[in-house]
A and B are shown apart, each in its own frame.
Chain A
Amino acid sequence: MNVGLLAQSLLAGITNGLTYALIGIGLAAIFKGSRVPNAMQGEFSVVGAIVVVLLLTGHGWPYWLAILCGGLSGAILGAFIEVAFIRYMIRNAAPEDSYLLLTIGIGLSISAAVLYFFGRESHLLPGFGSDNLYIILDAVVREHVIWLIAISILLTIGLRQFYRTTSVGLKMMAASIDPVGAASIGIDVTLMRTFTFMLGGALGAAAGILITPIIPVDYMIGLQLTLKGFAAAILGGLTNPLGAAIGGLVLGIIEAMAIVGVSSSYKDVITFSLLILIMIAMPQGLLGRAGRTGG
């Protein structure tokens, strides 16, 4: 196998992996903050990307402004889901599985709405920066890929800093670790949960916007992204958002190697078989913590 091909697929693996990572991070953040396994995380990506497509090509907005609004739309959708549904279900002590059902339902509705309003066509966004190509280790790289890698890494590091150093971030973390303890020192646990959904929504939208110059967005792609995000998050340890980042990368790289080594038709089989093996060996995930309960 030549170096160029290997480098090329490794790069593709990292690119996809970072996208899975962002979706997984959003999923893990929401799960940690509310114990809701969010089966519509990929739909945040679809909505974010579609909003950018609409504003950019439909209304001719500047790209950066459209991107900002795309991210914002994810946050708003996240807040809406928490305020309109999750909050009441938690107040009425809904059983745990009902959240999965709820988010699957919301996901399907969004997918149907996208189909209804935008049809079956898929849409690509232009790459960030210029359309220049670069050669790295014999691999041809679009400038957008470099942006995607840089932005994903920055978002991941930024998220860590946000949780560890800002007051709101610490409160969100406290509310997720022990809601009763948090409320006892004046933290508005419900509000923190809304913030968590906003953060998760914005991260999901960011993932969608970053990947859409490479993989076109359509009404069906949300579920695929959710599955990859879940795999990344579970691989990383579902309650550790930063674990999901590593999980996503590992997933993307395994997938890319499966394509070079075997064939692209079997990539999912190989990837998920490997995932299962890793999960058997490390049930808490790569960075997961044993024995955490509550939240």
Chain B
Amino acid sequence: MLAIKELTAGYGQLRVLHGVSMHVGKGEAVAIVGANGAGKTTLVNAVCGLGPVTQGRVIKDDVDLTSDAAHRRGRHGIAVVLENRRLFGEMTVQENLRLAEEHGRAYRSANLQFTWQRICELFPLIAERRRTRIELLSGGQQQMVAIARALLLQPDLLILDEPSTGLAPKIVKEILHVLRGLRSEGMGILLIEQNVGVAVEITDRAYVMALGRIVHEAAGTEWQTFLNDERLAAAYLGKASAGI
């Protein structure tokens, strides 16, 4: 469904991605793990048209999106929960969601999967706090709004850039619960995570990224037991993140 081919990207003189290739199949849940500065966010931004790309292709459902502007990519079923959420802080929850909802409707004219009602079922807090300004919500609540905002674009592939960072374990659990539910309904998921323990819970397969390259791919039991394999974990993630 999503294929990234030989992607090279950087900022000015700095080269960050050195020919990254990977794919996410239809309804598949895939993780990208890697240490700080490995280039995970640069990769996400490249896929979404939000950051630089010097070479390579981003292909979704056989359509080449590489040269499409960011705001045109949602049409192809991609939605992203960005690092730091990137909500509109001085606007209310409802206003934040309304904009995404309008575009989602435009992308999928018939039978919307994520209606306002469905979103409120997934995140009851949204119905309660819909008139609250985003900046007054806690980090966990904001993360839920960010996921809701992405879902309202009616995607079939949800990309999440470190959604668990800085959140209390209880909130992370709630978010994982929602993601697991989405996955079981066939939503494709590309999860960027430093916390392998979290990533393993909802993904079937993972790419390990280091210094702008995919250095390892793990699937099945190798991925499920990734943390136990000290050699892998330490080599690719460094002691700190492997220890979580």
A residues 149-194 touching B (CB-CB < 8 Å): 167, 170-171, 173-174, 177-178, 180-189
Residues of chain B contacted by A189 (CB below 8 angstroms): 71
Give chain B's interface secondary structure class: helix
Known: A167-B102, A170-B98, A171-B99. A184 touches B48 (CB 8 A): yes
Give 7 nearest A-B pairs by CB, closest first.
A181-B86, A186-B103, A183-B70, A185-B100, A186-B74, A177-B88, A188-B71
Residues of chain A contacted by B98 (CB below 8 angstroms): 167, 170
Docked-complex contact A183 and B88, CB < 8 angstroms:
no
Docked-complex contact A185 and B99, CB < 8 angstroms:
yes
A-B contacts besides A177-B91, A186-B153, A187-B99, 11 pairs, CB < 8 Å: A167-B99, A170-B95, A170-B98, A173-B88, A174-B99, A184-B48, A184-B80, A185-B74, A185-B150, A185-B153, A187-B103
Measured CB to CB, the residues of B under 8 A from A are 48-50, 69-72, 74-75, 79-80, 82, 85-91, 95-96, 98-100, 102-103, 106-107, 149-150, 153
In the assembled complex, how far is the CB of residue B28 from the closest CB belonging to chain A, in whole angstroms?
22
15 contacts between A and B (CB under 8 A): A167-B98, A170-B98, A170-B99, A174-B96, A174-B99, A177-B91, A178-B87, A180-B50, A180-B86, A181-B87, A183-B49, A183-B70, A186-B75, A186-B100, A186-B153
What total count of A-B pairs have CB within 8 Å? 69
Chain A residues with a Cβ closer than 8 Å to the other chain, count: 18
Docked-complex contact A177 and B103, CB < 8 angstroms:
no
Residues of chain A contacted by B79 (CB below 8 angstroms): 184-185
Measured CB to CB, the residues of A under 8 A from B are 167, 170-171, 173-174, 177-178, 180-189, 289
Q: Which residue of B lies closest to A240 (CB)?
A: B90
Residues of chain B contacted by A186 (CB below 8 angstroms): 71-72, 74-75, 100, 103, 106-107, 153
Docked-complex contact A187 and B71, CB < 8 angstroms:
yes
Q: How far is the CA of A186 from the CA of B71 in the complex (A)?
A: 4
Give chain A's interface secondary structure class: helix
Docked-complex contact B103 and A174, CB < 8 angstroms:
no
In the assembled complex, how far is the CB of residue B48 from the closest CB belonging to chain A, in whole angstroms?
6
Q: How far is the CA of A182 from the CA of B86 in the complex (A)?
A: 8
Residues of chain A contacted by B48 (CB below 8 angstroms): 184
Residues of chain A contacted by B82 (CB below 8 angstroms): 180-181, 184
Q: How far is the CA of A94 from the CA of B26 in the complex (A)?
A: 42
Docked-complex contact B86 and A174, CB < 8 angstroms:
no
Known: A170-B91, A184-B50, A184-B70. A178 touches B99 (CB 8 A): no
Residues of chain A contacted by B99 (CB below 8 angstroms): 167, 170-171, 174, 182, 185, 187
In the assembled complex, how far is the CB of residue B70 from the closest CB belonging to chain A, in whole angstroms?
4
Q: How far is the CA of A183 from the CA of B86 in the complex (A)?
A: 10
Residues of chain B contacted by A185 (CB below 8 angstroms): 74, 79, 99-100, 103, 149-150, 153
Q: Which residue of A lies closest to B146 (CB)?
A: A181
Residues of chain A contacted by B86 (CB below 8 angstroms): 178, 180-181, 184
| Among B71, B91, B107: residue with most chain A CB under 10 A | B71
Docked-complex contact B71 and A177, CB < 8 angstroms:
no
In the assembled complex, how far is the CB of residue B143 from the closest CB belonging to chain A, in whole angstroms?
13
Q: Which residue of B lies closest to A174 (CB)?
A: B88
Q: How far is the CA of A225 from the CA of B102 in the complex (A)?
A: 39
Q: Which residue of A lies closest to B97 (CB)?
A: A185
Docked-complex contact A183 and B71, CB < 8 angstroms:
yes
Q: Which residue of A lies closest to B159 (CB)?
A: A184
Q: Which residue of A lies closest to B102 (CB)?
A: A167
Residues of chain A contacted by B95 (CB below 8 angstroms): 170
In the assembled complex, how far is the CB of residue A285 from the closest CB belonging to chain B, in whole angstroms?
15
Q: Which residue of B lies closest to A178 (CB)?
A: B86
